[in-house]
Each structure stands twice: as C-alpha cells, then as structure tokens.
Structure 1
Amino acid sequence: MTHSQSTRQRLIDAAIDLFGEQGFKGTTTRELAEAANANIGSIAYYFGNKHGLYLASTHYIADALRQRLGLPSDNTTSTEVPTDAHHARQILQKRLKQMVRIVTEDQECRRWMLLIVREQVQPSEAFDILYDRAFGYIQQGISALIARITGLPQKSHHVIVETHTLVGQVLFLLVGREVLLRRLGLTHFNDDALANIDAIITGHINQLGAANT
C-alpha cells in the first residue's frame, strides 16, 4: 500500500467510526483528520469535502460486503439460479451461513454497524449507495433463490418479505449481539452457538415452500 493509499484508507476508517458515533453534522473535518493522523487538507485532496468522504465511506462498506460474500464488483453479473428447488435451498443455506460468520466474527463489520443503522433511520444519498451497491443486490439474489424454492414470482410481496425476514434474522445477530451473548452467558460466539444459529436458520429455510408441497 502506497502512502497515498494509506492516507486515503485511514480517512475512510476514521469516517466510518466518527460518522457512525456522531453523525454527519456532529463530525468536523478537523476531528476526521486528527483521527486519521492526516493533514486536514487531505480530505479535500482525496474526497473534495466532508460530504465526499462520507459517501466514500459508504462505498467502502458496500464494496467490502460484496467482497466478503464473493459477489461480483458490479451489478451486471449474477449467480445463475438453479432450476430445481432442492439445489436452490442448498445454495441459500450456504449463503446465509456465510452471512452469519461475517456478522458474528468479522471485527471490521461490527465497526460499520452504527453508520449503517443511522442510514436506516435517516436515509440520505449514502443510503442509495448502500442499497444499490450492497443490500438491494444481496437481497435480490436471495429473493431469486426463495422464488425458486416457493414457486412464487421473485417480485411478489411474499418473496420480498420472506427475504427481508431471513436476512433480518442474520443482521440482528450483529445489531443485538451483546444481548444474545449475555443471555447465552458467552463473551463471543463459540462453535456450539454458531451451530445452533445455523440449525435454526436452516429450519426456517426448510419451511420455505412447505405450504406448496
């Protein structure tokens, strides 16, 4: 990594932390520069202004999520959906298990949470980036699998809500992490806890399309 890349990345890392903790309006360029150990002028140099840095930080989160899930870097290519429901169910189980590992074990992912939650509560231009680059794309892929399993149209409200519910179960492991760990009497998600989570989510997946069989 070059010095230029290092400075740019430090600013993005600082932005994710400070914007998540304090919000866009509550964070100053001086605070961002100090947290990144960078010259205050580097924000204008790399991003134009504070708003540009804010958008770049959400771009980084979206692209990092795609990378962790093994998704293509753009929306023009998608994984082919299998023609049979059984294979689609297997792929869906694998995809959600992968997501569980990301939200429970990935330390960087935990750092993104506050900024993502802020954009959910008060969507801005940055939410469009998160949705178009990551969340919407990920959910469309899962909806395609659920549609194959249930035999329902991918754009039907039922499939969309099923998708949101399944993904929401996984994401709440991140949002509600400390509550669940305290109730389990754990300090981190161990192998037994992860096995239980996988089994429960698999059970929910196995219920998909049950009424149609």
Structure 2
Amino acid sequence: MAKPSATQTDANNPHPRSRLVMAALRIFAEKGFEGATTRDICELAGANISAIRYYFGDKAGLYRAAFTEPMCDAPCHTHIEAYASLALPEALHLFFREFLDPLKKGEEVRLVMKLHFREMIEPTGAWQQEIDAEIKPQHEALVSLLEQHLGLKGVDSDAHRLAFAIIGMAVQYYVGHEVVSAICPELLDTPEAIDTLSERLAGYAAAMIEGEAKRRLLGPGHEGH
C-alpha cells in the first residue's frame, strides 16, 4: 500500500506524517539527534511510535525528513531546467522567488535554521546529503545561467564567485532571520513583503551580472583564475 504524502489534509487536522515531521523538527532542533527520543516526538505529534517505522523507516529517516521537508514541499530545484529558457530578469526572479518562498512559513523557518546550526555542531551527515541533493544542483543551475548570459566558453572561478555572491544575498535572510526581523521586520512580515524582496534581489543580481560582464571586457588581466 502506498504511503500517504506529507501534505496536510486541512489546516486544523494535519496528516499524521506531517505532525511527526513538525514534532521531530521542534525536538531535534532543541535536543539534537542524540538527545531526542522517538517517544517524545510521538507524544508531541499525538502518533503511535510504530508510525515512525511506517513513514520513515527509523529515527534517522525521520531526522532527514525534519531537516529538509519543512523548507521545501517539493525538490527546491524543480524548475532549474526552466532557467535556461527564460530571459535573465525572469530567470533571476524565478530563482529568488523559489529560494525565499519557505520564509513565508514563519516559525518553521526559525526551527529549521536552529536545527541546521545544531547539525553543524553535531554532524550526522545530513548536510552532505542536502548539498548533494539540493544545494549543488541549485548552484550549478545558477552558474550555467551566468555562463550563458556572460557568453563564457567554460565556467571559471569568477563565475563561481559571482554565483555564491548572488545566492548569499538570499541566504542572509535565513541565517540572519532574527537580526533582520529585529532591525526591519517589515521586510519579512508578510508573504507580499517576501515577494517584493524576491523582485528586489533579482534586480540587484542583474546589476551584479552586468558589472561582471563589464569587468570582463577590460581584458585578460581581469579574468578569474
């Protein structure tokens, strides 16, 4: 029998799998993988402990789900193949809109960031899996977009530098979420504000790419190595 997805049946009665993921996110973020118990997670989720084996296989499988799923209901690079077919402004806007859309989930984002920071201190291998499955394909898609727009014959170090700089603008709103909210809360306090942020970052990125294109025209002495 096929296992139900993590999609919630409705706002007031989330699916048991969704309840387990959210309960695990909260407890893993607070206690880490070793300190969290499946009994505590199931008690918070209102689920039978056998549900963990049914939906996730084991505690490690539940941890991986809590580490990745709240930020991305589907693979974050679902539309990567669409970037190449779009004009640069539209491609950048799509990139940032997808990248920042999880910020609309509010408290879930704060819990995910707490869990991610804990993973850096108490590694389980989840980060490497995330890099391979999501972060690296996303970076490669952006580098490919830069290669196409800048007319490069191959990707060089400066293309990677520019890609990391562009992505870094968006990453700041995750890593520095609490700082941004304390200094200028209106930047993140509504879905509409986050959509506006996506548009602005796309514009900033386009200006950065234009600047890099001009720099490359200055001659070989300005190329990356």
TM-score range, shorter chain: 0.7 to 0.9
CA distance in 2, matches of 1:28, 1:151: 53
CA distance in 1, matches of 2:143, 2:123: 23
Kindly indicate whether residue 105 of structure 2 is the aligned counterpart of residue 106 of structure 1: yes
Kindly indicate whether the alpha-carbon contact (under 8 Å) linking 1:7 and 1:36 is maintained by their aligned counterparts in 2: yes
Match of 1:207 in 2: 208
Deviations 1:4-53 (Å, cap 9, x if unpaired)? Answer: 76222221221122212221011111111111111223323433321222
Kindly indicate whether the alpha-carbon contact (under 8 Å) linking 1:16 and 1:112 is maintained by their aligned counterparts in 2: yes
Within 5 A, what are the aligned runs for 1:3-82? 6-58=15-67, 60-61=69-70, 64=73, 66=75, 71=78, 78-79=81-82, 81-82=84-85
Deviations 1:140-164 (Å, cap 9, x if unpaired)? Answer: 2111112223334664322222222
Within 5 A, what are the aligned runs for 1:86-105? 87-100=87-100, 102-105=101-104
**SS of residue paired to 1:66:** coil
Q: Structure 1 residues 160, 54: closer, same or farther in 2, change over 3 A?
A: same
Deviations 1:81-106 (Å, cap 9, x if unpaired)? Answer: 25xxx923441233224433x15423
TM-score between the two structures when normalised by the length of structure 1 = 0.74
Deviates more, 1:182-191 or 1:157-166: 182-191
Q: Structure 1 residues 212, 189: closer, same or farther in 2, change over 3 A?
A: farther
Letter in 1 for 2:36: T
Q: Structure 1 residues 194, 50: closer, same or farther in 2, change over 3 A?
A: closer
Match of 2:144 in 1: 144
CA distance in 2, matches of 1:127, 1:11: 21
CA distance in 2, matches of 1:45, 1:54: 14
Letter in 2 for 1:50: K
The number of residue pairs the alignment matches comes to 202
Letter in 2 for 1:78: E
CA distance in 1, matches of 2:159, 2:69: 29
Match of 2:8 in 1: none
Q: Structure 1 residues 121, 211: closer, same or farther in 2, change over 3 A?
A: farther
Deviation at 1:194, TM superposition (A): 6.4
Within 5 A, what are the aligned runs for 1:94-173? 94-100=94-100, 102-107=101-106, 108-120=108-120, 122-152=122-152, 155-173=155-173
**SS of residue paired to 2:35:** coil
CA distance in 2, matches of 1:127, 1:192: 29
Letter in 1 for 2:157: H
CA distance in 1, matches of 2:182, 2:216: 39
Deviations 1:144-192 (Å, cap 9, x if unpaired)? Answer: 1122233346643222222222112112112212212322264844667
Structure 1 stretches lacking a partner, 5+ long: none
Structure 2 stretches lacking a partner, 5+ long: 6-14, 218-225
Deviations 1:73-125 (Å, cap 9, x if unpaired)? Answer: xxxx833625xxx923441233224433x154233444422223334555433
